Amino acid sequence: MPTPARSDARSAVPKGAGPKDADPGVPVIDVPALDFWDTLYGRRSIRRFSDEPVARELIDQVIHAGIWAPSSCNYQMWDLVPVDDPVINARLTELSTQMGNAPVNVIVSYGSGYSTEHWAGIQSASALVQNMSLAAHALGLGSFWITQLGDADEVRRVVGLPPDRFVVAVLAIGFPKIVPKSGPKRRPLDAVRHWNHYGGRPIPSTADPEAWHEDDLSVYQRARVLNGLRHNKPRAWEMAAIDAALDRFVDAGREKPETRGDHVGRWLEVLPCTGIVAEHTAQARPAFRFDVLERTPEVGQFVVGRLWTRGEFRQWPHAGGPELERGVYAHASCFFRLEGLPKAQRAELMLRLFDALEPGGDLVLGYVSSRSLHDAIEWIRSRGKGPKGVEYVLSPDPNIGPFASLGPNEAESLARAAGFEVGGRLARLVLPAKGELAFRTRNFGRAGALVRGLFDVLRPLENLPGLGRLLGRLQFVRLVKPKSAPRTG
């Protein structure tokens, strides 16, 4: 049977809000006649909304489009609570800050006793949310699909849903304040489509670096960078620790030269991925020319573009890109990247960095110690109600892939084996900083306040001599290439 022309199919849709004979409560508004593909590919996740109120008739139209989604066994056991009361939305925002951005939050719930096999109830509710997202875009609204709800049971209680309804998600709706010009890049079709039998290698679902193949990590990090940096924000407590390490170990290069060519030396930034830390480091020592050592040209060039000095990209492991030069760098910095590598690659990287430095040059290495509270906090997070998954591993600069804290002597043992000498140490964050605690517990309600109060009582213990070196989460060490080492360039 021939496929009708797109214009014919669109003209066959009756003008109005939908099939009124099937639902006498359907909103009486005219829906725009939009091309399906334009709507599908034009929809964006909106993160900043205007304060303009949204008419309830528009919200009803969005919800009506949602309930025409397929559901398991056609049970349609969804119940929705659109919240436009600022007081109630304020209470929801205390549970999850993501619910504080739009004038309307639609709470999407499903019957907990229906369609539980293979999470069919969740699948049904998700189809409804997708319909609503497309409908909101078609009506000139913006939406944001919220899965980080904090305490979902408390969300249910705030809006009065009965106990047998579980909250699946929240759809924030409003008029967009900022609309992204283009959507994030997608994984190629050939990488995700497998005719008849799976023929690829899956990206791991574990944070264990030993489980990740080098190619998988490259694909994952390339996607994270090219999809944008919305989830990667500078964290003040981490940047403060890095600044303290730079101030302790590298005094030169603080003054920004008048032109990019006036460099006091070359600096190698090691595996910066998103470039958040690299940009900060380059701003702190702007007189150096910063080169970037990365896995793929796409990620490396992305980071280079963020840096004022516009250095060069070098590829490791070498896979056809420009190789790392030897004996040319006065300084190198590697902040919290050994933790994402398999053990064999850690040793290899240290050898390469030793070769890249000029005699007397140094590597400022930062790592997360397994002897700190890090692993305990991660264990609690993995068993709580907070976000799950590889991208939420509790480490500096999340969303970059696998991560495993290092033993207290592991990093220095690798460095000495490569030929480095230890030129200084610095430790930070025996306890989480106040800003970090506020960030980590922002959706915990009263429990969060109790946790913050407990750490305030314990904070004076951080001043005990030697405790930082023993239990500090962020450990920094200056590794020096001896001046007697032969030049390899």
pLDDT tens, residue by residue, 308-329 = 887 999 999 877 778 899 999 9
Q: Is residue 190 assigned to a domain?
A: no
Interval 290-311 mean pLDDT: 89
Q: Is residue 207 assigned to a domain?
A: no
Q: Are residues 151 and 233 in the same domain?
A: no
Please state, in angstroms and rounded to a whole number, the distance separating the CA atoms of residues 315 and 215: 13
Q: Are residues 155 and 228 in the same domain?
A: no
Mean pLDDT over all residues of the chain?
86
Handedness of CA 376, 382, 387, 392 (dihedral sign): positive
Query: To which residue do tokens 């915990």 refer?
Result: 444
For the chain, the domain total comes to: 2
Query: Of 404, 258, 278, which is closest to residue 342 (Cα–Cα)?
Result: 404
Q: Is residue 128 assigned to a domain?
A: yes
Q: Is residue 405 assigned to a domain?
A: yes
| Listed ranges 114-128, 214-228, 380-394; the one with the highest mean pLDDT | 114-128
Query: What's the pLDDT at 25?
Result: 66
Q: Are residues 167 and 246 in the same domain?
A: no
Q: Are residues 162 and 237 in the same domain?
A: no
- The neighbouring-strand residues paired with 479 are 363, 422
Q: Is residue 449 assigned to a domain?
A: no
Q: Are residues 263 and 403 in the same domain?
A: yes
Q: Are 136 and 179 in contact (CB under 8 A)?
A: no
Interval 337-349 mean pLDDT: 93
Residue 341 has pLDDT above 50, yes or no: yes
Residue 356 has pLDDT above 50, yes or no: yes
Please state, in angstroms and rounded to a whole number, the distance separating the CA atoms of residues 311 and 76: 57
Q: Residue 40: give its domain's CATH number.
A: 3.40.109.10
Q: Are residues 248 and 380 in the same domain?
A: yes
pLDDT band at 333 (very low <50, low <70, confident <90, very high): very high
Interval 67-88 mean pLDDT: 94
Q: Is residue 208 assigned to a domain?
A: no
| Listed ranges 49-53, 183-187, 390-394; the one with the highest mean pLDDT | 49-53
Query: What's the pLDDT at 438?
Result: 81
Q: Could you give the 3-state DSSP secondary structure of residue 392?
A: helix
- Give the least confident one: 57-61, 254-258, 336-340, 444-448: 444-448
Query: What's the pLDDT at 1?
Result: 34
Residue 9 has pLDDT above 50, yes or no: no
Residue that is last in its domain, among 114, 140, 174: 174
- Give the least confident one: 71-80, 141-150, 431-440: 431-440
Print the domain residue range for 125: 8-174
Query: What's the pLDDT at 12?
Result: 36
Q: Are residues 13 and 151 in the same domain?
A: yes
- Give the least confident one: 89-93, 103-107, 316-320: 316-320
Query: What's the pLDDT at 118?
Result: 86
Query: What's the pLDDT at 80?
Result: 97
Ramachandran angles phi, psi of 472, nearest 5°? -60, 135
Per-residue pLDDT tens for 428-476? 999 888 888 887 777 666 777 888 888 888 888 888 888 888 899 999 9
Q: In Å, how far are 168, 227, 295, 353, 412 from 207, measured between CA atoms?
A: 25, 20, 18, 25, 23
Residue 20 has pLDDT above 70, yes or no: no
Query: What's the pLDDT at 472?
Result: 92
Interval 116-145 mean pLDDT: 93
Query: What's the pLDDT at 257?
Result: 84
Query: What's the pLDDT at 317?
Result: 86
Residue that is last in its domain, among 142, 157, 174: 174
Q: Are residues 292 and 153 in the same domain?
A: no
Q: Are residues 153 and 286 in the same domain?
A: no
Q: Is residue 272 assigned to a domain?
A: yes
Interval 200-227 mean pLDDT: 84
pLDDT band at 419 (very low <50, low <70, confident <90, very high): very high
Q: Are residues 168 and 228 in the same domain?
A: no
What's the whole-model pTM score?
0.73
Query: What's the pLDDT at 476?
Result: 96
Q: Is residue 202 assigned to a domain?
A: no
Residue 402 has pLDDT above 70, yes or no: yes
The CA R_g of the chain, rounded to the nearest whole Å, is 26
Per-residue pLDDT tens for 22-43? 566 666 667 777 788 999 989 9
DSSP element (H, E) containing 333: strand 329-335
pLDDT band at 487 (very low <50, low <70, confident <90, very high): low
Query: What's the pLDDT at 11?
Result: 36
Query: What's the pLDDT at 489?
Result: 46
Interval 371-398 mean pLDDT: 75
Q: Are residues 253 and 165 in the same domain?
A: no
Q: Are residues 392 and 256 in the same domain?
A: yes
Handedness of CA 98, 104, 105, 108 (dihedral sign): negative
Q: SS in 3 state form for the chain?
A: CCCCCHHHHHHCCCCCCCCCCCCCCCCCCCCCCCCHHHHHHHCCECCCECCCCCCHHHHHHHHHHHCCCCCHHHCCCEEEEEECCHHHHHHHHHHCHHHHCCCEEEEEEEECCCCCHHHHHHHHHHHHHHHHHHHHHHCCCEEEEECCCCCHHHHHHHCCCCCCEEEEEEEEEECECCCCCCCCCCCCHHHHCCCCCCCCCCCCCCCCHHHCCHHHHHHHHHHHHHCCCCCCCCCHHHHHHHHHHHHHHCCCCCCCCCCCCCCCCEEEEECCCCCHHHHHHHHHCCCCEEEEEECCHHHHHHHHHHCCCCCCEEECCCCCCCCCCCCCEEEEEEECCHHHCCHHHHHHHHHHHHHHEEEEEEEEEEEEECCCCHHHHHHHHHHCCCCCCHHHCCCCCCCCCCCCCECCCHHHHHHHHHCCEEEEEEEECCCCCHHHHHHHCCCCCHHHHHHHHHHHHHHHHHHCCCHHHHHCCEEEEEEECCCCCCCCC
Residue 392 has pLDDT above 90, yes or no: no
pLDDT band at 232 (very low <50, low <70, confident <90, very high): low
